[in-house]
Amino acid sequence: MSERLSVRKTYKLFIGGAFPRSESGRTVIVNDAKGRFLANAARASRKDVRDAVVAARKAQAGWAARTGYNRGQILYRVAEMLEGRRGQFVEELRGSGLGKAAATAEVDGAIDRWVWYAGWADKIAQVTGSANAVSGPFFNFSTPEPTGVVGVIAPDSPLLGLVSVLAPVVVTGNTAVVVAAESAPLPAITLAEVLATSDVPGGVINLLTGHRAELAPWLASHQDVNAIDLTGAPGDLAADCERAAADNLKRVRRPVADDWAADPGTARMTAFLETKTVWHPVGI
């Protein structure tokens, strides 16, 4: 019996809950750590960035309007589905050069971190909001609200780093356009496949693969992006993106070396929250 032909898969982008090809028609070859072919991945373009931002904007109001409890349940279900694909993620990370123990540790850490952030969905408002003491017959409340559409440049850690920068953005009601790790995009694509079959509404999370240096400046300069996380952007690229983000006064989270690897706290969630203060007369 002759050997079967290899079916070489070409992965697509994840925009608006669907898997479109890049409008440019370009792909990048993904090899394993030994230089052997694994798959083709889409190479996103400026037009793909624009399409992803449109999808994120369309989904943002509805996602923010959900209760924190509902968002938490939806995101916790994603963690359950990640657990179901644990073996696949481990194999993909091993293909990128990690040993079995390191790959397993990264996958387990990513799932645990997703669960940790999902648990904050219905708690962050209580921690960051307040009932303020005022002199007069008024109630005065400060409550957190999502910033809006957030661009995310993911670090080179293809799964734990991705989860560490993505989960805190969406748990608080923002929507995200993510540029995945350039060196190992397959775990991000597998995460997209999980999201596509989950209850996360289309457009809440949009994942682009390709070259960071090509995509990040367009994301930073886009007038309908409210904030950007430059964790995965190297020095010169991060500086260029900061300058581009100034045009519409984007909120910018600057890259800090490996800060995503530290034990998580609330800082990544509050980085993309706005505080609204409301006055209300007593007795009305």
Q: Is the pLDDT of residue 7 over 80?
A: no
pLDDT digits (tens, 9 = 90+) for 56-109: 999 999 999 999 999 999 999 999 999 999 999 999 999 888 899 999 999 999
pLDDT digits (tens, 9 = 90+) for 170-211: 999 999 999 999 988 999 999 999 999 999 999 999 999 999
pLDDT computed for residue 2 by the predictor: 63
For residue 16, being part of any structural domain is answered with no
Count of domains forming the chain? 1
For residue 110, being part of any structural domain is answered with yes
For residue 17, being part of any structural domain is answered with no
pLDDT computed for residue 284 by the predictor: 59
- Share above pLDDT 90 across residues of the chain, in percent, rounded to a whole number: 76
pLDDT computed for residue 118 by the predictor: 97
For residue 253, being part of any structural domain is answered with yes
CATH number of the domain at 193, please: 3.40.605.10
pLDDT digits (tens, 9 = 90+) for 134-178: 888 888 888 899 999 999 999 999 999 999 999 999 999 999 999
**Long-range Cβ contacts of 115-120 (<8 Å, 24+ apart):** 115/76, 115/79, 116/264, 117/75, 117/167, 117/168, 117/171, 117/264, 117/269, 118/72, 118/75, 118/76, 118/78, 118/79, 118/167, 118/171, 119/72, 119/76, 120/72, 120/171, 120/266, 120/269
For residue 4, being part of any structural domain is answered with no
Look up the domain containing 236 and give its range: 27-281
